[in-house]
Amino acid sequence: MSVAIADVERARGVVAPVLHRTPILSSRALGERIGASAFLKAENFQRTGSFKPRGAVYAVSRLSAEQRAAGIVTMSAGNAAQAIAFAASTARVKVTVAMPETAPQTKVDATRGYGAEVVFAADMTKLIALVETLRSKTGAYFLHPYDDAAMVAGHGTVALEILEDVPDADVLVVGVGGGGLIAGVATAAKAKRPGARVIGVEPAGANAMRRALDAGVPVRLERIDTIADGLAAPIAGILPLEIVRRLVDDVVVVDDAVIAEGVRFLAQRAKLVAEPAGGAAVGALLAGAVRVRPGERVVAIVSGGNVDASRLADILRG
């Protein structure tokens, strides 16, 4: 099952009354660096601190009565955990989240604060096995954090807002983890503005989508090593991969130094607090990994701002 623009528009009717319509901010400083008109979609201002509730609220709304009664189990390094916990709490559905032991404590605390039970796996690569164990023991419904049509449709509402605020956008730059956000953005953007380019940015230490594109099928990562925990999916989603192959113009891979520079730039020049995942798109533009043409209108999605103070201080010190 794929996702169409009608699904994204339907999702917007559900999520808009619950979530924020985040601002588009122009950035002359970024524009001067890249030779284009630059804009920042500030999803770090979204409820729970990232874009993730867009998909989570819509996905929970689509659950059957039986699925709600059984409860939800999911997996995440943090942002999806918070978002699904938030969405489940508003719908009064029990949720258990499998998180890696390396998850930032702020994200663990926030997930618990929304009422979720948190259980831990040794690292990101062990999450799926833990979810399977939990599901078999409890009978809970597995709500996948990114390989889910409703999740993708909800995330696509970001692009609807972008193209209302910047209707002549030429390039949309998106951080990529499992692919849910970029799949939703591409679905909406290519339907509303077919000539716009959609470019993904992925960490070298967690390049699940790039490897999937090169192999033609999802490839499970044996090791993940990146500061961008929000982009550290152990495998690309099957549905996102199908959409990315069809609609996304490119997925580029950058190292952590590039991502860190994006975080620093946002803090120093745009006065935005971004986590590494949220700084990836800007970092790739600054480094020239995403090439734009002179005078184009470029939108970078600042996908989240959930970063530990100590991690942020380390990055800002360089």
Q: Is 310 a catalytic residue?
A: no
DSSP letter string, 247-312:
H-SEEEEE-HHHHHHHHHHHHHHS-----HHHHHHHHHHHHTSS---TT-EEEEEE-B----HHHH
Residue 75: strand pairing partners: 98
What is the identity of the amino acid at 30?
Answer: L
303 belongs to the catalytic site: yes
Contacts of 133 (CB under 8 A, 6+ apart): none
Rounded to the nearest 5 degrees, what angle is found at the Cα of 148, between the Cα atoms of 144 and 150?
120
Pairwise CA distance, residues 51 & 157, whole Å? 10
Q: Are 114 and 135 in contact (CB under 8 A)?
A: no
Half-sphere exposure of 41 (CA within 13 A, CB side): 30
Name 202's bridge partners: 253
Please pick, among 37, 41, 50, 52, the residue that the annotation labels catalytic.
52
b (16+ CB within 10 A) / e for 104-143: bebbbebbeebebebebbebbbbbbebbeebbeeeebbbb
Residue 60, number of CB atoms within 10 A of its CB: 27
Task: Give the 3-state secondary structure of residue 17.
Answer: coil
Name 64's Cβ contacts closer than 8 Å, sequence gap at least 6. none
Q: Phi then psi for 178, rounded to 5 degrees?
A: -80, -15
Look at the chain and count its residues: 318
Known catalytic residues are 52, 303
